[in-house]
Amino acid sequence: MNVEKDIILVLPEKIVAELKECNRNAAPTEACGLIFGDIKKIETAKENFQIHYIGKQFYCLKSNIESYGSFALIEDSDKYFEIHQDAVYNRQLRMISIFHSHPVPPYPSSIDIENMRYLNEDIGKKRNPFKNQIWTIMDMNTEDINGFIYYNKELLQVDLKIMNE
């Protein structure tokens, strides 16, 4: 899998701690949640850009369907609406990442890849809010984190930067 160095998932330590807590509370079931924040295009040199996905607020969700965790939350539209109200209307943030944990190494499963592909399609003329999201996957045991994006019809691993505030 290609690693895209110009797309960076920036997570403050506070959010990383919350992801770990979410993982521990759900184990041995897969944890899932949504990360909201900002997406910024940053010029690093002349005509060179990086895209930073900056996490600011995490919402841990209970998943009741094993292995389909992240997908189940998307279908729970009431919960999604509640989170959206708080993050977007109250805090002026945008969704940047779909989080879930894995009992196996933190790489997308075949189901994840299928969902990433599916969620990247526009629905009619409406912009799909799950398009171009980073999928943050945590190893349930080691708590290692990886980020992935389905971008221009290609599955890429992104760089991860953990910030201590």
3-state secondary structure 90-153: HCCCEEEEEEEEECCCCCCCHHHHHHHHHHCCCECCECCCCCCCEEEEEECCCCCEEEEEEECC
CB of 104 to Zn ion, least distance (A): 9
Please say which residue, 12 or 70, places its beta carbon nearer to Zn ion. 70
Please say which residue, 92 or 109, places its beta carbon nearer to Zn ion. 109
CB of 42 to Zn ion, least distance (A): 29
Kindly state the helix (H) or strand (E) to which residue 17 belongs, with its residue range.
helix 13-26
CA pair distance 17, 114, nearest whole angstrom = 29
Please say which residue, 56 or 100, places its beta carbon nearer to Zn ion. 100
CB of 163 to Zn ion, least distance (A): 25
Other Cβ atoms within 10 Å of 132 Cβ, number: 17
Binding site for Zn ion (CB under 5 A): 109, 112
Please say which residue, 51 or 145, places its beta carbon nearer to Zn ion. 145
User: Is the separation of the CB atoms in 96 and 135 below 8 Å?
Assistant: no
Give residue number: closest CB to Zn ion: 112
CB of 112 to Zn ion, least distance (A): 4
